[in-house]
Amino acid sequence: QVRLVESGGESVQAGDSLTLSCAASGYTISNSCMAWFRQAPGREREGVASICADGIRTYYSNSVKGRFTISRDNAKNTLDLQMNSLKPEDTATYYCAASSRPWQLIGATIALSTFTYNAWGQGTQVTVSS
């Protein structure tokens, strides 16, 4: 059974940096694609960043490109999201997600889609104040 546990969310000021982590169990992160999503109150869950097994395929939403970096540690089976230059609009609950699809079949068009991922963490709250 796949279990994903996020950590690192907190309240920060605009311009600050924060790193979120996701610890995976029952799932080998090096086998497929994983991603970070976020959901603000009253809004749909949106894909933020994803990384696939080859370590080369990374995808970012336009809203975070250049500010956020997704990475993974295969030895520790963890997924991180480094967030820099945080803005109030980054305020949301952030979720870690894992896919069971073969990573070779996950390209740019679906890498940040909720339908690509079938395992989810419980979320960690990030609040950015201006």
- pLDDT, tens digit, for every residue of 22-49? 999 988 888 889 999 999 999 999 999 9
Angle at the Cα of 117 from the Cα atoms of 37 and 24, rounded to 5 degrees: 80
Coil, helix or strand for 104?
helix
**Predicted confidence (pLDDT) at residue 96 exceeds the cutoff of 80:** yes
**Mean pLDDT, residues 55-72 taken together:** 94
**Mean pLDDT for all residues in the chain:** 94
Bridge partners of residue 126, in order along the sequence: 92
Find out whether 7 and 23 touch, Cβ atoms under 8 Å.
yes
What's the pLDDT score for residue 120?
97
What's the pLDDT score for residue 91?
98
